[in-house]
Structure 1
């Protein structure tokens, strides 16, 4: 519990100071209880995007269909999954070196900032505009 509180503080600082990559500040994010190292989800409808780890969490929180994500650290590639490990009849977890898997249900909604509670269409995700308001955008 203490680690999560400390991570929350670091996230708040990194967001306020516009630092894009949480990994450069909180190098220990791989030890958070929300993540499973060297694991990815297969057989799930998904979308790929290029993002930092923190941005991957925020995009997943801002997309109503996102139930989990995989993050390839070396490539800064975020895979947003429409299923999570609880849907094991149609999905499964696999070993993949350098990949992080996390169910979005383990993350606090407040990490999404002003997007918390903002609803976008199924094919859109919520993001924070330059003036600090929530808006919806199509996936690239």
Structure 2
């Protein structure tokens, strides 16, 4: 069993996956900061400073009028926090768009690198006779 586990860990796919998870965690922190610190304030500016996070409906319990969602939860009230859900959807859409743009850029860079590689490969090929030319020469030599 230990040998099987060692073989499983030694496979390249597992190591690639581990690197992907680690980079994904670091990337998550960057995207979360970008959304929370850069994009959400701009969205809030366009929406007139509206922060949906504190929009909720009290289902049961006593909450002071105008209290924040956090304060309502602290007093133990059951709240229907639809504003937090709206903000989560907005954040998701922003993050999805950012990831889309990132993937789009990476694909363009990959395509450019692939084209350059194909061009250098095409230039590096020897310009000798083709296979057909060689076969025709052999045929002609056999006829003689």
- Structure 2 length-normalised TM: 0.20
Higher strand share: 1
Higher helix share: 2
- Structure 1 length-normalised TM: 0.20
Bigger radius of gyration: 2
